[in-house]
Structure 1
Amino acid sequence: HDDWQLGRWRIYLDSPMAVKVIEVYRRHHQIFDREALADWHGPENPFRMPNLKLVSAVEESRALNEVDGGAIIIAGSGMCTGGRILHHLKQNISTPATQIVIVGYQAEGTLGRALVDGAPQVLIHGDTYAVRARVHTVGGLSAHADEPGLCRWYENLRNRPPVQLVHGEPHRRDALARTLRTRYGIDVGRPAPGDSLDLARSR
């Protein structure tokens, strides 16, 4: 918090679901592991920043448009396909002083992917907006497992069932399919959009 000079900013977590999740953490922090518990009770607990405001109500979210002097607004959805982030992008994406930070994987065809790829203009709720904001990406924060992690997970499954890869970049899915076929000798499918799968038969 201090190292990043976050104290000089007003920070808003504008996500009803995230606010509810934080409340669950607060009620059950006693079940954290030792490291997480130390962070929770220490000075670096991000939920105790004095300048952090949790936003749930729609009226509060809309009022963020009137904030003067700069602020950090954290909002979902992560791929900018819905939720309150769309409202904030509409209000700020064409302002050169705006900084947009994207921290997760952006699938092809999403607004988030268009921003990461440097689109000069984007469509939001049917209207076209020029992208004059600066767009930044931060890697390493994804909750998705990498290929070794997925293989370790698969090794723990009983009977080594067949696999259908339905998510991820095409070249990454190809690589994972090759690894699974070579290492485990299993059938690996890559269904296309619109294909149907009979999950009962594949058990």
Structure 2
Amino acid sequence: MVNVDGDTRWIHSDTDLLSGHGVSYNVNYLGSVEVLCSMKTLDFDSRTRVARDSIRLVCTAVGVSLRERNKSDVSSNGQSMTAAQANLTHSHTPVQLIISTDALVLKRSDDSQIICSHRMEGISFASAGEHDTKDYIAYVAKDNMNKRACHVLSCASNESLDVITTIGQAFELRYNEYVQTQRQVLQHQDEE
């Protein structure tokens, strides 16, 4: 994201994300971790910690070698906010991540089968990794059974910032659509 004279410029045009087609990135799906609490009850730092702890847990489970963390870096809260084990169904699957104002969709690259589709209103948080996990992103979403999980994706080298910025842009556009719809409803009610 580039900021020029207080005006935010995104990587993609708004139209690309609004069109229903979305913007695609080729990533690898690594797995997920069940989130045991509502993200709404957590502050920003705790939400970030849930996402980054989930990235570390999934990476370790699939055999990615990470540096040992200092005890001061480990969140004691993070352990109780997420399951202790990762779900590795579809692990190491190359996928196309399609980002739009409607949803985040993960399609297998080889046959286009959808392995995950999360509507925007069911997504509560997204974050990039840190230091030795900088090429990973995670997002927390509810599934059709209302269970929350943090999904972890591996991006091409130095692409995670573009992916997370595009997700942020889609969130902002979705929010702006919501606000505009609410204004129209209120305006219509005032006219009656």
TM over 0.5: no
**Bigger strand share:** 2
Q: Which has the higher contact order (CA 8 A, sep 6+)?
A: 2
Larger radius of gyration, structure 1 or 2?
1
